[in-house]
Structure formats: C-alpha cells, structure tokens
Structure 1
Amino acid sequence: MMMIRWKAIASIPACFFLPIVHAQDTIESFLQACTDDAVDTVRTALQEHPDWLHIRSSHGETCLHVAGIYGASAVTRAVLQAGADPNVRSTYEHGLRMHPLSWNVYGGHVTNVRLLLEHGADPNLDVDPMVKGASPETVLDIVQRILGAFDENYKDNENQNEDSRYTAFREIEKLLVKYDAKSFDALNTVDDSSHAEL
C-alpha cells in the first residue's frame, strides 16, 4: 500500500514539466467565440491562455481574422487592446495571404476597419487576388472594385445611397484614403520624372 502511494505522489511533479497541449476542439470553441463576438468568453479565455491571442485555426487564421467574418467589433477591439497584430497574415495555402483589414473590407465592416486602422493596420499591404493570374491588390483596390460593381448595378437607379452595404463601402473607402491607402499599381509605379535629365 505504502509503495503505491509513493508512486502516485512521485508522479505528480512530473506533470508540471510536461508541455501545455490545447485540445483542438477547445481552440475551435475559442475561435468560434471570436467569430460570434462573444467578448466575455474571449477575454476569459485569454486570461487563462494568453498565447491564444496568436493561436491559429487549422486554416491558419487568428481570432482577429475570424472576428472579421461577421464584423465582431467588441472582440476586435478587445484583442487589439490585448496586443494582437493587426497585420497578421493567414497562413492557409488558399488564404490569399489575407490580413484582418482585408477580411473586414471584403465584409463591409466599417467599425472593424476603423479599429484596425487606429491600431496600426497597414492599408498598403498587398494580398493575393481572387482571380488567378491577376496582380496582387491592396484593400483600396478591393473596395474600389466592390464599389464599381455597385455603381454598375445602380447605373440607372437613384436608390444606391439607400443601400446600407453601398454606403458602408463608401465609408470604408473614405477611411482608407484618410489613412493614406494606395492602389497596388500606385505603390509599384516608379516616378520617372524624378530621373529626368535637367
């Protein structure tokens, strides 16, 4: 009997040296809370597991990425305040190297776009295009392409300003310009006039 007790007691310290392993379903639950804007759940999880601020889904997305699916602004604000990188890229093979700002621009989430820009998101990072063989694009390219599609759909219609999605993308365009966003072409055009001979 005494021998069994000592074996049990001797094995307890060993568990303190084992690496912490997070069950995938627990991580997925955390990321689902990020998506659902369950800010209290996210804050509690981050208090218990601060490293989850940077943890990724099986598709290479962080909490800050998936908060952009539906525009989870309370979670976006909380994780940015906790130190999440606003320029983190998706590592998923087919994830187009997207960062949280591009997710939120595509989604038309004005509040999140503003929060990300205020916390240092770079509006001039490029992402891979959705169309194979096309040039990379910036978030300004993305929003202007979306607005162009709206303009085409509303060509002979005065109701575009009553469409909340259209006005959201217009607001995002203004925010991006305010933060000095450029198109991919503008960022990659060399000004030949500076090399002109006098």
Structure 2
Amino acid sequence: MINPTSYPVRLVVSALLFTVAAIGSTEEQPPENTEYFHACSSGNLSTVTSLLEADPALVRTTTRDGEHCLHLSAFSGNAEIVKLLLEKGADPDIRSTYEKGLRMHPLSWCTYYGRHEIISLLLKYGADVNADFDLGGEFEENEDRVVTALDVIEKILMDMSVDDERKPEFVETRNVLVRGGALRWASLKDEL
C-alpha cells in the first residue's frame, strides 16, 4: 500500500491535484465559474472578492470534480481567500465529492501541508477537528480505515528527519490541532 502521509507521495498528489483543480476541473464549468476557480487555485484574492460580490452564490459552487474554492485555496495555502470564503458562509467541513478521488475536507489538506494558520481559521469557523480524513484506497483487513488529523500529523512528524527544515511548521500544526481538541481515532472510536 502507498503511504499517503509520506512526503514524496504528498508532493506528487499535490502536483496532480493542483493541475487538475487549476486547469482540468474548470474545463466543463460555465465560463463565469472558470475564472472563479482559477482565481481560487492561483490565490488571486481581488478576483475572488469581486466575483463573490457580483455573485454571492459562488461561495457554494463546486468544480465538476466536486472541489470547492475552499479546497483549492486551502490546498494552495492562501489564508486570505480561505478567510474571505468562511466569512461569506463557506462550510469549513465541505468534502470533495469526486467519486474517484479522496473525499477530503479543507482541514485534511492543511494538515498534510502544515498550514497551521489556515487550520486555525477553519477551527474558528467551526471545522470538525476530529472529522475522518477519508483517505480512500486499499486497506489491509486489520487496518483501521478511519484516521483523524492528529493521526496524520503525528505520522508525518514521525516520518520526518530531526533536521528537516519543515518540521517546526508541522509541530505547530500539531499544536494547533491539539489546542482545537484533536484526538487520535483510537481514542474516538471507543466513545462512539
């Protein structure tokens, strides 16, 4: 099984998803939505702002692959657009609805990339810190299919070398999650 928390796998997945989100997903969108999703994925705050002012319903629109502007902005690391979308009523727990993809939520993407600033925003606006990541894929019979953000960030930290320059970002991400009430799935499943 491919380890979805390993850094090389995350880099490849991000490159593919960013390309699809920025280009492929918008091909079948009406022309007015193409500009919106491109602005979301490229971090163009002024364009996103003006498009939302002209059509507030865009805050609930998704690409043909079920990605919301909140996914694209969280994925690309644009905290200003994430904040704008949340202020306009975007659901902080919205999941991708693409049948053949990962049905992840914005907090999932931010956890993978150590985006603690955006995680703080998502939590402030009510994101479920213990929502299932829904990693998809093949699992061994005895392997849990459910993982939380805390499970994932701890696995990422465990796999990082001591001198990895990105480690402080991921440590702070873990701290933000814990302060927000994050639990490991093993702790949660006994309570359900």
TM-score w.r.t. structure 1 length? Answer: 0.75
Give the structure 2 partner of residue 182 of structure 1. 183
Query: What is the correspondence of 1:96-135 to structure 2 with a 5 Å cutoff?
Result: 96-129=102-135, 131-133=137-139, 134=143, 135=145
Query: What is the correspondence of 1:117-156 to structure 2 with a 5 Å cutoff?
Result: 117-129=123-135, 131-133=137-139, 134=143, 135-150=145-160, 153-154=161-162
**Unmatched runs of 5 consecutive residues or more in structure 2:** 1-27
If asked which structure has higher relative contact order (CA below 8 Å, sep 6+), I would say: 2
- Identical-pair percentage: 34
Q: 1:168, 1:71 → 2: CA distance?
A: 13
What per-residue deviation string (whole Å, max 9, x for no partner) do you get for residues 173-195 of structure 1? 0011001111112110259xxxx
Residue 81 (structure 1) aligned with residue 81 (structure 2): no
Give the structure 2 partner of residue 92 of structure 1. 98
SS in 2 for 1:67: helix
What per-residue deviation string (whole Å, max 9, x for no partner) do you get for residues 81-118 of structure 1? 11111011110113322111111111221211111111
Relative to structure 1, the CA distance from residue 129 to residue 23 in structure 2 (aligned partners, 3 Å threshold; closer, same or farther) is closer
Give the structure 2 partner of residue 30 of structure 1. 36
Relative to structure 1, the CA distance from residue 23 to residue 143 in structure 2 (aligned partners, 3 Å threshold; closer, same or farther) is closer
SS in 2 for 1:104: helix
Compare 129-138 and 38-47 and name the one that shifted more: 129-138
Q: 2:103, 2:136 → 1: CA distance?
A: 11
Deviation at 1:36, TM superposition (A): 1.9
Counterpart AA for 2:148: T
Q: 2:101, 2:150 → 1: CA distance?
A: 19
The number of residue pairs the alignment matches comes to: 161
Relative to structure 1, the CA distance from residue 149 to residue 131 in structure 2 (aligned partners, 3 Å threshold; closer, same or farther) is farther
**Is the 8 Å Cα contact of residues 70 and 107 (structure 1) preserved in structure 2?**
no
Counterpart AA for 1:121: A
Give the structure 1 partner of residue 167 of structure 2. 166
TM-score w.r.t. structure 2 length? Answer: 0.78
Of structures 1 and 2, the larger Rg is shown by 1
**Unmatched runs of 5 consecutive residues or more in structure 1:** 1-21, 192-198
**Is the 8 Å Cα contact of residues 37 and 69 (structure 2) preserved in structure 1?**
yes
SS in 1 for 2:85: helix
Deviation at 1:23, TM superposition (A): 5.2
Counterpart AA for 2:118: N
